[in-house]
Amino acid sequence: MLPESRLRSLYSDFRELRLLNIDGYEANIRQWKEWLIKEFWSDLTIVSTTDLLLELSNAQYGAPKSIDVVLDDMVKEGTLIPMSAYRKRNQSIVLSIMKWTINKTVMDLSWKSRANETARYLKPTKYVNMAWLKKNDEVIHDLLKTNIYESGNPSTINVFTKSHFYKASGINTVTKDWESYEIVLDSLCDSNQIVVSSEDIVKVISPLSYAGTNSQSREISEEDVCVANINEYIFTAESEIKSAESVVELTTKRLSNAISSGLSQEIKRTLLRLKKRSERNLEQGYTSLESLKKLQDEISKASQNVVMVNIMSQASTALKAINSQLLSEDSISNIIDEFQENTEKQDRIHDLLVGETVSDDDALEGELAQLEKELSKEDTKKDPKETVDQKLSKSSKETESTEDLAKKLASLRVSEHVPSDSSENNVETAKKEEVPHKQLA
């Protein structure tokens, strides 16, 4: 809802604020646009201004005095598109749902929705609500994906009459009337998802074909018209079967109730006749459906065969074009022979050039082997000497270790008195006893 605190300003003639208070002017336009798009027109594909002033009237402030300014701004930014301009959009370019090319002679800054200065000042105009199309773009795509692309039918038979496509696609669940449905069809055409012919035939373009991985034709042929009619007959037959099943179920239930409640024989006979008639209608419906389904399958197979033949023909043409760029088999054989001959000749020249180097390499290898033997002998002679040196080094380390131990022992004191001579003699005796051990080592 519009904020109560701003109703007075919003419903006033605030056109003069454009010069006096530009911030207030823009705030009013912004407030109106947000409310109209998100609330008032949120579920409308087509907006009509014929009775808009009456619909927007407020009990306290009456009709808005300058809603035309809001409409003009929405047209300027592309949120609303006058129906006349929408019908003149440039269809020669594939456009996305919100990137329209509008005839600039109509869609320009001179567009005015105000007709006069009376109480009913708005022009009675219809606008396409682009905000609704943008909001429901994903919803419509999901409907097509579920009901058409993933329906299990081959893409070659996804051709419908307009009325059949309206129900089969599920678009009837999001649009309020036929005119809104046609706007949705136009947007799907512009986004290259369908093709609509002047005979009111809708041909769905496979997503694979749109991606360039399928050769599905975007032209509607006489065969497509035939397939569309068969598809509609099948859809009608299935609807009639559902209706007949409901009648059979209802008459069976009523007959059971009549028997259990003890109604007259005449009523029972009448209900039984109705039950049998509905069963015959159901049987006839299934027979018709079977025939139509069989015909549909045959057409589908034939269409797929045509597609396969076209693909094979294109592949054959491409292969022929590639092969035409190659030489004959004899020419290719001669090229290979010449290449092999030149390769062998090059190998012979290489052998001649590197022959002397090879013999020099053999001599060098012999000298290196001799030097390695001599160095090996010298290493063997040095090993014993290194062993003696290692032993002397080890003995020297042991001697130093013993002397260190003797010094530590001499520094020890058994008591506070000076050690006696006998202790010193014992240390000297220990040293003398260690000497023979060193010599033995």
Half-sphere exposure of 212 (CA within 13 A, CB side): 0
Residues in contact with 207: Cβ distance below 8 Å, sequence separation at least 6, in sequence order: 149
pLDDT tens readout for residues 269-305? 999 999 999 999 999 999 999 999 998 888 888 878 8
Structure pTM? 0.61
CA max distance for the chain: 154
Closest to 179 (Cα-Cα) out of 162, 203, 195: 162
Give the confidence band of 217 by pLDDT, cuts at 50, 70, 90.
Answer: low
Give the confidence band of 157 by pLDDT, cuts at 50, 70, 90.
Answer: confident
Residue 365's pLDDT is: 77
Residue 400's pLDDT is: 58
Q: Which helix (H) or strand (E) holds 420?
A: none
Closest to 110 (Cα-Cα) out of 162, 75, 86, 145: 75
A 10 A CB-CB count for 311 gives: 12
Q: Which helix (H) or strand (E) holds 198?
A: none
CATH 1.10.287 residue window(s) in the chain: 222-308
Has residue 165 got a pLDDT over 70?
A: yes
Picking from 147-151, 162-166, 375-379, 405-409, which range would have the lowest pLDDT averaged per residue?
405-409
CB 232 within 8 A of CB 161: yes
- The mean pLDDT of 343-348, rounded to a whole number, is 88
Residue 393's pLDDT is: 57
- For 81, phi and psi rounded to 5 degrees? -125, 120
Residue 289's pLDDT is: 93
Has residue 242 got a pLDDT over 90?
A: yes
pLDDT tens readout for residues 418-435? 444 444 444 444 444 444
Residue 326's pLDDT is: 78
| SS3 label, residue 128 | strand
- The mean pLDDT of 154-166, rounded to a whole number, is 85
Instruction: Give the residue with greater pLDDT, 221 vs 441.
Output: 221
Picking from 41-55, 204-218, 252-266, which range would have the lowest pLDDT averaged per residue?
204-218
DSSP state of 415: S
Residue 432's pLDDT is: 47
Residue 29's pLDDT is: 96
pLDDT tens readout for residues 363-413? 777 778 888 888 887 767 655 545 545 555 555 555 555 666 566 656 654
Looking at the DSSP bridge assignments, the partners of residue 95 are none
- The mean pLDDT of 7-29, rounded to a whole number, is 93
Token pair belonging to 182: 């046609």
Q: What is the spatial distance between Cα 339 and Cα 265, in angstroms, rounded to a whole number?
A: 104
Residue 109's pLDDT is: 57
Angle ∠(56,59,64) on CA atoms, nearest 5: 40
Helices 67-77 and 22-35 sit at what angle, rounded to 10 degrees?
80
Query: What does the mean pLDDT of the chain come to?
Result: 80
Residue 143's pLDDT is: 93
Picking from 140-149, 176-185, 302-311, which range would have the lowest pLDDT averaged per residue?
302-311
Of 1.10.260, 1.10.287, 3.40.50, 1.10.10, the CATH number of 222-308 is 1.10.287
pLDDT tens readout for residues 72-106? 999 999 999 999 889 887 544 334 444 444 444 34
Picking from 195-204, 227-236, 303-312, 406-415, which range would have the lowest pLDDT averaged per residue?
406-415
Has residue 151 got a pLDDT over 70?
A: yes
Has residue 220 got a pLDDT over 70?
A: yes
Has residue 436 got a pLDDT over 60?
A: no
Residues in contact with 215: Cβ distance below 8 Å, sequence separation at least 6, in sequence order: 209, 307, 310, 311, 314
Residues in contact with 157: Cβ distance below 8 Å, sequence separation at least 6, in sequence order: 227, 231, 296, 299, 300, 303
127-142: b (≥16 Cβ within 10 Å) or e: bbbbbbbeebbeebbe
